[in-house]
């Protein structure tokens, strides 16, 4: 499966009967899949079926889809409720005579609720069904185009992530080959620290001093961290090759990369190894940022 990004945009449009419709669908990063539809009044019945279509095609991301619809023959019919109008007019005329008030104009009577009824042309059941089918098909095309765009961006992200993994691999190898990790360098460092302690004139137990030296040597050994970094790089490359919805797994690996790098920096017994660790942290952070875009 192809690697996919969580960001993308698609637009489709068409006509069914007297209706012109347009879909605009966009998606951004999200922890899970959240599909939100903006439908015109009266078309809310499409909400659940459309969300099901999106959930079958997408695994993660915040998706917003907007449907715009206009009717070509926006014919309206106007009906005057004459019995109501005559009854109101008679009552108003009677009151006006009693109060010696001027007569009420016709347009004022027509503005009363219920006197003038305006209604738009209604679709038949068959026409409505045809429009809903066309709008649904248009949404499916929009989702397909969105998936294609996300896959294209995912391919570009895959190249970037592999470059970051190359950097992690290079820096891990540099830490492996760092002269400060050689046993003789560690012994020399320990010997210098021990001589400094002895020069203070304090009375140290030789056996206890030996034990402390062994413990210190164990603390500065980064063999385990380097091995884990190598294993994590291999796992990440396998996920990128596999593709699909691997974003969460890669995010977990990014956290593991960061944990091992932090430990390496804390154990470093030389500024040169610390420098490698800090550079490694920077590349790991770049890897983590890009992973946030992966589905």
- CATH code for the domain in which residue 41 is found: 3.30.230.10
- Which strand (E) or helix (H) includes residue 152? helix 125-177
**Residue 11's pLDDT band (boundaries 50, 70, 90)?**
very high
- Are 98 and 45 within one domain? no
- Are 281 and 158 within one domain? yes
Residue 91 lies in a domain: yes
| Buried-exposed string 223-243: b where 16+ CB fall within 10 A, e elsewhere | eebbebbeebbeebeebbeeb
- Are 128 and 43 within one domain? yes
Residue 1 lies in a domain: no
- Are 175 and 222 within one domain? yes
257 pLDDT higher than 80: yes
- Are 102 and 141 within one domain? no
Query: CB–CB of 57/19 below 8 Å?
Result: no
pTM of the model: 0.72
Residue 2 lies in a domain: no
> Structurally, how many domains does the chain consist of?
3
- Are 133 and 183 within one domain? no
- Are 258 and 136 within one domain? no
- Are 70 and 81 within one domain? no
- Are 16 and 138 within one domain? yes
Domain boundary among 132, 150, 168: 150
Can you give the CATH number for the domain in which 242 is found? Answer: 1.20.140
Residue 255 lies in a domain: yes
More confident residue, 66 or 192: 66
How many other CB atoms sit within 10 Å of the CB of residue 52?
10
Q: Which residues touch 38 (CB under 8 Å, ≥6 apart)?
A: 64, 65, 66, 67
Residue 3 lies in a domain: no
- Are 67 and 201 within one domain? no
Question: Which range is most confident: 80-94, 119-133, 185-199, 245-259?
Answer: 245-259
User: Domain of 206?
Assistant: 153-291
| CA dihedral angle for residue 288, residue 286, residue 239, residue 221, rounded to 10 degrees | -90
217 pLDDT higher than 60: no
pLDDT tens per residue across span 50-102: 999 999 999 999 999 999 999 876 655 667 778 877 887 888 788 777 777 78
- Are 108 and 133 within one domain? no
């Amino acid at each position: 499966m192809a690697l996919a990004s969580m960001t993308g945009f698609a637009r489709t449009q068409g006509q069914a009967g007297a209706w012109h419709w347009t879909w605009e669908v966009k998606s951004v990063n999200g922890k899970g899949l959240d599909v939100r539809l903006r439908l015109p009044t009266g078309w809310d019945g499409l909400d659940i079926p459309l969300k099901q279509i999106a959930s079958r095609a997408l695994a993660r991301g915040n998706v917003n889809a907007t449907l715009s619809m206009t009717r070509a023959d926006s014919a309206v019919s106007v009906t005057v409720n004459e019995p109501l109008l005559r009854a109101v007019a008679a009552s108003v005329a009677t009151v006006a005579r009693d109060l010696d008030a001027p007569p009420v104009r016709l347009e004022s009577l027509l503005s009363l609720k219920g006197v003038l009824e305006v209604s738009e042309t209604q679709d038949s059941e068959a026409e409505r069904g045809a429009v809903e089918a066309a709008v649904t098909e248009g949404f499916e095309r929009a989702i397909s185009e969105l998936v294609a765009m996300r896959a294209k961006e995912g391919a570009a992200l895959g190249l970037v992530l592999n470059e970051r993994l190359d950097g992690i691999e290079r820096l891990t190898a540099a830490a492996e080959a760092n002269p400060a990790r050689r046993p003789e360098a560690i012994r020399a460092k320990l010997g210098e620290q021990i001589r400094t302690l002895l020069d203070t004139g304090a009375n140290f137990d030789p056996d206890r001093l030996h034990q402390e030296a062994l413990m210190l040597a164990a603390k500065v050994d980064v063999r385990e961290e380097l091995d884990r970094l190598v294993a994590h790089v291999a796992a990440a490359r396998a996920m990128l090759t596999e593709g699909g919805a691997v974003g969460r797994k890669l995010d977990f690996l990014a956290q593991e990369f960061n944990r091992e790098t932090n430990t390496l920096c804390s154990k470093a017994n030389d500024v040169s190894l610390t420098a490698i660790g800090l550079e490694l942290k920077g590349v790991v952070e770049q890897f983590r940022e890009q992973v946030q875009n992966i589905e």
